[in-house]
């Protein structure tokens, strides 16, 4: 088996993102490079490289002389991010191979149907949701677009843990996923694309009340 050989900065980035998913970091808090580097068991250099990458993705902010901090959350920004991802995923669907979409449509439907059945912890649900979207876009031939979507979604991870606790939205999320899948089974790409956009817009509305009001 090929042993793992990739830059520390990437591993650090992923570790920080997964901690963000777990809600370990409060939005708006400063990062102390020395202590975080010590905690991760690495030096400040690759840590700073990871922080710079995350800042480029909008997860962090940087101020001259003041270092990095987790970007504060706001309803305005969340709305903006949802609008962007809705447009990008919709475009990705339009760029996808129609035959491939028909092929995966049943699997998408199956995944959407078993969605709310499992009473699982938050992180499992989120992973499930991500997998559904990943599979949906797996036929997109625009590689740059897929990278961009991944990057923008990283910026949304700050909002993930705010969803914890309430199950109601998930049922509607699953219903919307079913709707998209059914349209793909029918081969109606245009309507599926529209349903996907609606899914993001509705998901955004559902989240709004959970985000602290903008300052």
Partner DNA sequence: GTGTGATATTTTGTATGCAGAATTCATAGT
Partner DNA sequence: ACTATGAATTCTGCATACAAAATATCACAC
User: Which part of the chain contacts a copy of itself (CB under 8 A), choosing from 17-25, 27-35, 48-56, 119-127?
Assistant: 48-56
Residue 151 binding a copy of itself, by CB under 8 A: yes
Residue 46 binding DNA, by CB under 7 A: yes
Q: Look at the block and give the residue holding tokens 């591993």.
A: 11
DSSP string, 63-128: ETTTEEEEPPP-HHHHHHHHHHHHHHHHHHHHTB-HHHHHHHHHHHHHHHHSTTTS---HHHHHHH
Residue 61 binding DNA, by CB under 7 A: no
**Residue 215 touches which member of a copy of itself, DNA, none, C-beta under 5-8 Å by kind:** none
**Residue 46 touches which member of DNA, a copy of itself, none, C-beta under 5-8 Å by kind:** DNA
Looking only at the bridges linking them, the beta strands covering 60-63 and 67-70 are: antiparallel
DSSP string, 36-71: HHHHHTS-HHHHHHHHHHHHHTTSEEEETTTEEEEP
Residue 7 binding DNA, by CB under 7 A: yes
Which stretches of the chain bind DNA, using CB under 7 A? 5, 7-9, 30-34, 42-46, 48-49, 62-68
Which stretches of the chain bind a copy of itself, using CB under 8 A? 5-7, 9, 45, 48-49, 52-53, 56-58, 62, 64, 77, 80-81, 83-84, 87-88, 91, 95, 142-145, 147-148, 151-152, 155
């Amino acid at each position: 088996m090929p042993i793992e050989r990739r830059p520390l900065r990437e591993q650090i980035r992923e570790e920080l993102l997964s901690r963000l998913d777990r809600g370990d970091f409060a939005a708006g808090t400063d990062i102390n490079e020395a202590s975080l580097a010590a905690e991760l068991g690495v030096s400040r250099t690759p840590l700073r490289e990871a922080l710079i990458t995350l800042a480029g993705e909008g997860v962090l902010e940087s101020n001259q002389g003041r270092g990095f901090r987790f970007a504060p959350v706001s309803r305005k920004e969340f709305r903006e991010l949802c609008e962007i991802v809705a447009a990008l995923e919709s475009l990705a669907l339009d760029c996808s191979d129609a035959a491939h979409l028909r092929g995966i449509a049943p699997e998408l439907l199956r995944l959407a149907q078993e969605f709310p059945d499992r009473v699982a912890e938050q992180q499992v649900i989120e992973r499930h949701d991500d997998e559904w979207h990943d599979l949906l876009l797996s036929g997109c031939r625009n590689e740059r677009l897929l990278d961009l979507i991944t990057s923008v979604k990283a910026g949304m991870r700050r909002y993930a843990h705010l969803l914890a606790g309430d199950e109601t939205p998930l049922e509607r999320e699953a219903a919307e996923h079913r709707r998209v899948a059914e349209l793909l089974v029918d081969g109606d790409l245009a309507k599926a694309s529209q349903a996907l956009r609606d899914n993001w817009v509705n998901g955004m509305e559902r989240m709004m009340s959970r985000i602290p009001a903008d300052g």
